[in-house]
Amino acid sequence: MLARLRRSSLAALVAALAWTGSVQAAGIIRITEVMSNALTLNNMDWWEITNYGDAAIDITGWRMDDNSYSYAASLALVPYATGTEPAWSLIAPGESVVFMEAQFPSTAVPGYQSLWNLGSGTGNVRNPKLGSYVGSGASLSSGGDGLIIFDASGAEVNRVAFGAATTGCSFYWSYDSAGVLGSAPAGTVSQAPLNYASTVTSTANGQANTGSPGIAVTLAPVVSLFWTASGTTLGGSGTWNSSSNRWSPSDTTVSGGLWANGRAAYFGGTSGTVTVGSDVAPLSMNFTTSGYRIASGSGSITACDVSVVAGGSATIAARVTGTSGLALGGGTLLLAGTANNYTGFTNVVGGTLQLAANNVIPDASRVAVSRFMLADFNGYSDTVGGLQGLGSVRMGPTVTVNITGTTDARLDGFLSGTGDLVIDSAGSGVQRLNTSAQTLNVDFAVKDYVGKTTVNRGALGVDRSAVPLNTTEVNVEAAGRLALSPNTAAPDQVFAFGSNPVVPVNLKSGTIGQGAGDDVELANTLNVTGTATALIVNKNTPDPLVPSTQQFTFSGPLTGSGVLRVLASDTASGLAQSRAKFTSTSGNTFSGTVSPGPFAVSRFNGDFTQTSVALAGGKVDGYGAIKTVSGTGIVSPDGTSGADGIFTVGTISGSAGTCFNFDLNAANVAPNWSDPTASVNDVLRLTGTTPFTTNLASGNVVQLFVNAATLATSDSYQGGFFTSTNQISAISNATYTTYVLGDGLGTDIEHSGLTYYTLAHYNAAHSTTFAPTVTMVSTTASFGGLPTPGWIMRTTYAAAPAAITITVGSGTQTQTQAGYPTLSGSLPLVKAGAGTLVVDKANTLTGSTAVQSGRLQLANGSALGSSRIVPLSGGAVTLTPGLQTSVGGLAPNAGGLVDVGNGMVTVASGLSATGMVTAIVTGMGDGSWNGTIGITSSVAASSGGDRTVGWLDNGDGSVTFAFAAAGDTNLDWQVDIIDAANFLAGGKFDSGSPASWNEGDFTYDGVVDILDAASFLSNGLFDAGAYNAAPGGASTVAAVPEPAAGALLGAGLAALIVLRRRSGGG
């Protein structure tokens, strides 16, 4: 049996015919439910029909289609039966059948029955009979669609149209016993427990769905009221309120009566102006005569379904309000009221919606247009909550989209007209321009509006098949994001906005990117101003076995100024890399800076000689040309194969952290100078007169990837740095690390898809002692066919020279106990073993000292005064308590640890201030001096947070670092008036100018600000005497500062802060 509710009247038959276009072929079959956006069973579409008649109906040979409403394109309806269910070819009165879009019904149908707790398919309540269909183009769109059923002769039986779906909820329709529609023509969204709907949850994915399969609602006839201004004839002008007798219960015997909310309002007869004088809530508004105007008065209309006679028009200028949406089912409706505030969708299920004034659609209302229908802004501007559907939207002067929630809006249909599209969304939902299979391949829908495209705030997503073809420019402001996504139906993934690629995409501090895991290409000019971002979005679930790279290619010119950050979305998994590739060969006038972040690559394969690169943890590569490189990251020539190439750079700053990768493929031959895309050995051509603005030091790691199966004695590789003059003095102090391909089975490092051995592991496996020697040799290159004299880096591999190896397996030994009472000469020293070697003599050793493992403790002020110390991974250098010592050189970023304790180290040469600070920041760890590499202080770590490591650039090529307290600017282990003078007189406070420890940067961020002043003031050391204990003791605080001295310091710093704030320094 069918559940029966009381609503509505016989006159709804007219509306039902207008809404559904129903042609009854045999019996009374009606579409009663549609699920177009399911969350379960692989998002399977399903829908239901019910027999409202008094006789059984044979539906053998019946077919269905979506909103193309075409019998030629229709699909057969197939029964589902396993032998226990009754055949559904005969549908008895009151029985329902549910059809599913299912390629494999033997799996889908039982899954559906189980999910919805249905019976065996008898056709009765909660036990609908079941069937399926499958075929191209019949999937129901979640953005709005339609459904039609045909009988065996091809005659239409019933159709419905519906707008954008609520995710996981079905639409339902209710009819009276004559099959006359009595509910919303566009369908009503199911909500449990209304109208017998229930919510079920999938055990497979935990998602909930709401619907009522197997239950249809039979309504009492809808009560319709007909407008009669005079009370005797239909139509005319007058006021619509709750007190005037202007509504007739019949359209044949007209008599005036009071309005009652919840009735279907009909406007026929002679058209006129109807002024809304009180708040009214019609079930629907049906204009059966063209030309009516519903004028604004002292009342309002609750949003409802509206239909207009075919070929006719009506205007609603009164305020439309309420929480439901406004739905147009046919004809032309002009919306003219500027005080509308309904919160539901503006649905164009049928006909044309036209604006008749600016700002008539509420800002929160999303415009949803069904296929073949039109929302026409008609020369007016408005702000809406989104554009979506399969139909058409015609622009006004400015159409602004403000999506305030998290749900995307997707417009698959046409977007035409003249006007600007502005995205200004407060929420995270994305306005998407897209196409469906129907709109792309059948309707040939395009986005061809003429006007600007601006993303002020929020995101605009553009599918390759829906690029605005005639937009005049694209602007992405600071809070905006433009995301491009490819389309499998449009294999050419090159995006070109506007009629010509010269149409600029202006990144005005905004963000451009692509869909997760997609590779896309933009042909337009990319014009950058401010600080903009290219966000390359990696796969949501990276494959640990197949690390991936997502690439955004910018094939148009790069212009403008400012900063373009290149960022990867995945910086945590270690399984993905993001690349921004710039390939334009001309027109690149960008004079700003490109800055790749961690796991991001900026690749330049063209002439970008006005563009600088500031590495921010990422990589720059390619076979083109750029202006300068600075920062922390990797520089690597890169040819078309991802390996050997010639990369041209004007100058490179040798700051610590600027590192290099070079592929070396052929020994004892010169690079292929004539082909920058395949140069055999990598070449980094530096064209500046002073190619290295700062000499390379130990913090600059040069990784050499030797692609050879074996190394031979005296193998020599020409590749790496190419300069116009001999720059060996600039590159000799870098840290050179060799990796050998060998048999390709190495596990030490992956590079360009290959795995390598460290040189140490290669030597161990082959019983060799190869070591690299880096020099520069004179040569004549041929770049672009022109002879170019210069110097090329040459790396020669030969047996390593003899070394002094001192192994302390465990415990502690002095150098004398280890058999070396003095260390002298030029041979390198290697400290091996897990134990501790104490170097306690004044030695004259000039060879390097490598700490491979264990600990090397310095116990003399001149222990290694002429030796360069290299603590490697697993090795550590420590000092005896309170020691002040000098060393010939130090590589604190080579992978090992330097623990200064409560002592002081002066490095004579080869270590830049930047490299030293990098090592200190690394050794600081999480801020408690718990780092395992770099420079740290175990005494600072145990001090409770008020001690640190200070540093000085001595100005003569040497640097010093020591156990310190904030405020001790000259590292004399007391905080006094000299330190206050240095802090106050430096002029760096709150200026933003680069600053050193001596000038007050106690937090290692390169500037002096309120944090540094707070560190100075908070430790209570000013004028308190020495804070570092004598050698051999622990660090203590001697006394509390005198009030007068502390007050003087506080007053001075406070005055400085006030002065800087008032002068605009902040």
Q: Give 657-707 pLDDT, tens digit per residue.
A: 899 999 999 999 999 999 999 999 999 999 999 999 999 998 899 999 999
User: Binning pLDDT at 50, 70 and 90, where does residue 366 land?
Assistant: very high
Residues 6 or more apart in contact with residue 655 via CB below 8 angstroms: 630, 631, 632, 694, 699, 912, 914, 915
Domain that holds residue 352: 223-365
Does 151 share its domain with 282? no
DSSP H/E element including 702: strand 701-706
326-335 and 305-308 strand pairing? parallel
- Does residue 471 fall inside a structural domain? no
On whether the CB atoms of residues 1045 and 1025 are closer than 8 A, the answer is: no
Does the pLDDT value for residue 1046 go beyond 60?
no
- Does residue 445 fall inside a structural domain? no
Does 719 share its domain with 690? yes
| CA angle in degrees (0–180, nearest 5) for 396-400-401 | 130
- Does residue 372 fall inside a structural domain? no
Tell me the per-residue pLDDT of 795-853, one tens digit each, with 9 for 90 and over. 999 987 788 999 999 999 999 999 899 999 989 999 999 999 999 999 999 999 999 99
Does 934 share its domain with 972? no
How far apart CA 250 and CA 228 sit, in angstroms, is 10
Q: What is the pLDDT of residue 442?
A: 86
346-355 and 948-953 strand pairing? unpaired
- Does residue 581 fall inside a structural domain? no
Residues 6 or more apart in contact with residue 896 via CB below 8 angstroms: 851, 870, 871, 872, 873, 874, 875, 876, 877, 933
Nearest to 576 by CA among 603, 540, 611: 540
User: Binning pLDDT at 50, 70 and 90, where does residue 974 land?
Assistant: very high
On whether the CB atoms of residues 562 and 531 are closer than 8 A, the answer is: yes
Residues 6 or more apart in contact with residue 353 via CB below 8 angstroms: 328, 332, 333, 335, 346, 374, 375, 376
Residues 6 or more apart in contact with residue 2 via CB below 8 angstroms: 50, 94, 125, 215, 216, 217, 218
Does the pLDDT value for residue 516 go beyond 70?
yes
Which one of 937, 964, 991 terminates a domain?
A: 964
Q: What is the pLDDT of residue 642?
A: 55
Does the pLDDT value for residue 1043 go beyond 50?
no
Nearest to 420 by CA among 396, 442, 403, 385: 396
Does 14 share its domain with 46? yes
User: When comparing pLDDT for 892 and 182, which is higher?
Assistant: 892
User: Binning pLDDT at 50, 70 and 90, where does residue 26 land?
Assistant: very low
Does the pLDDT value for residue 1036 go beyond 90?
no
Beta strand residue intervals within 359-518, DSSP E:
367-369, 374-376, 382-384, 387-389, 392-394, 398-401, 409-411, 415-416, 420-424, 430-433, 452-463, 473-485, 494-495, 505-508, 511-514
Does the pLDDT value for residue 5 go beyond 50?
no
Does 853 share its domain with 809? yes
Does 770 share its domain with 819? no
Arithmetic mean of pLDDT, 1051-1064: 46
Q: How far, CA to CA in Å, does 709 sit from each of 370, 739, 742, 754?
A: 65, 11, 4, 13
Does 297 share its domain with 167? no
Arithmetic mean of pLDDT, 1031-1053: 43
Does 746 share its domain with 651? yes
Q: What is the pLDDT of residue 126?
A: 64
**Helices of type H across 394-457:** 437-441
Which one of 303, 335, 365 terminates a domain?
A: 365
Compute φ and ψ for 248, nearest 5 degrees.
Answer: -105, 135
- Does residue 167 fall inside a structural domain? yes
Which one of 365, 400, 416 terminates a domain?
A: 365
How far apart CA 56 and CA 91 sit, in angstroms, is 5
Tell me the per-residue pLDDT of 75-125, one tens digit each, with 9 for 90 and over. 999 888 754 545 567 888 888 999 999 988 888 888 888 888 886 555 555
DSSP 992-1013: -----GGGT--SSSSSB-HHHH
On whether the CB atoms of residues 576 and 567 are closer than 8 A, the answer is: no
Range of lowest pLDDT (152-156, 254-258, 547-551): 547-551
Q: What is the pLDDT of residue 122?
A: 55
Does 272 share its domain with 335? yes
% residues pLDDT > 70 (the chain): 91
DSSP H/E element including 19: helix 12-20
User: Binning pLDDT at 50, 70 and 90, where does residue 20 land?
Assistant: very low
Does the pLDDT value for residue 229 go beyond 50?
yes
Residue 464 DSSP symbol: G
User: Binning pLDDT at 50, 70 and 90, where does residue 1063 land?
Assistant: very low
Q: What is the pTM of this model?
A: 0.67
User: When comparing pLDDT for 544 and 404, which is higher?
Assistant: 404
**Edge-to-edge, what's the strand order for the sheet holding 804-807?**
804-807, 829-832, 849-851, 864-871, 884-890, 904-907, 959-964, 948-953
Does 841 share its domain with 871? yes
On whether the CB atoms of residues 862 and 842 are closer than 8 A, the answer is: yes
User: Binning pLDDT at 50, 70 and 90, where does residue 1032 land?
Assistant: very low
- Does residue 860 fall inside a structural domain? yes
How far apart CA 46 and CA 173 sit, in angstroms, is 14
Q: What is the pLDDT of residue 640?
A: 60
- CATH number of the structural domain spanning residue 48: 2.60.40.1260
DSSP H/E element including 1018: helix 1010-1018
Number of structural domains the chain divides into? 5
Query: For residue 193, is the peptide bond before it cis, meaning its omega torsion is within 30 degrees of 0?
Result: yes
Instruction: Output the average pLDDT for the chain.
Output: 89
- Does residue 783 fall inside a structural domain? yes
Helix (H, G, I), strand (E, B) or coil at 97: strand
Does the pLDDT value for residue 402 go beyond 80?
yes
Q: Exposure of 395 by Cβ count < 10 A (0-12 exposed, 13-18 middle, 19+ buried)? A: buried
- Does residue 572 fall inside a structural domain? no
User: The tokens 């709150």 sit on which residue?
Assistant: 990
Range of lowest pLDDT (257-271, 853-867, 978-992): 978-992
% residues pLDDT > 90 (the chain): 69
| CA angle in degrees (0–180, nearest 5) for 784-786-788 | 110
Nearest to 940 by CA among 1002, 896, 1014, 989: 1002
Q: Which residues pair with 794 in a beta bridge?
A: 718, 775
Does the pLDDT value for residue 249 go beyond 80?
yes
Q: Exposure of 744 by Cβ count < 10 A (0-12 exposed, 13-18 middle, 19+ buried)? A: exposed
Does 919 share its domain with 984? no
User: The tokens 């439910």 sit on which residue?
Assistant: 33
Q: Could you tell me the two tokens for 470?
A: 């005639």
Compute φ and ψ for 404, nearest 5 degrees.
Answer: -95, -15
Tell me the per-residue pLDDT of 541-593, one tens digit each, with 9 for 90 and over. 887 777 778 999 999 999 999 999 999 999 888 888 899 999 999 999 999 99
Q: What is the pLDDT of residue 21?
A: 32
Does 207 share its domain with 240? no
Does the pLDDT value for residue 918 go beyond 50?
yes
Q: How far, CA to CA in Å, does 43 sit from each of 38, 234, 568, 912?
A: 5, 49, 31, 61
Residues 6 or more apart in contact with residue 253 via CB below 8 angstroms: none
Q: Could you tell me the two tokens for 446?
A: 């395009």
Q: What is the pLDDT of residue 15?
A: 31
Tell me how long the chain is: 1066
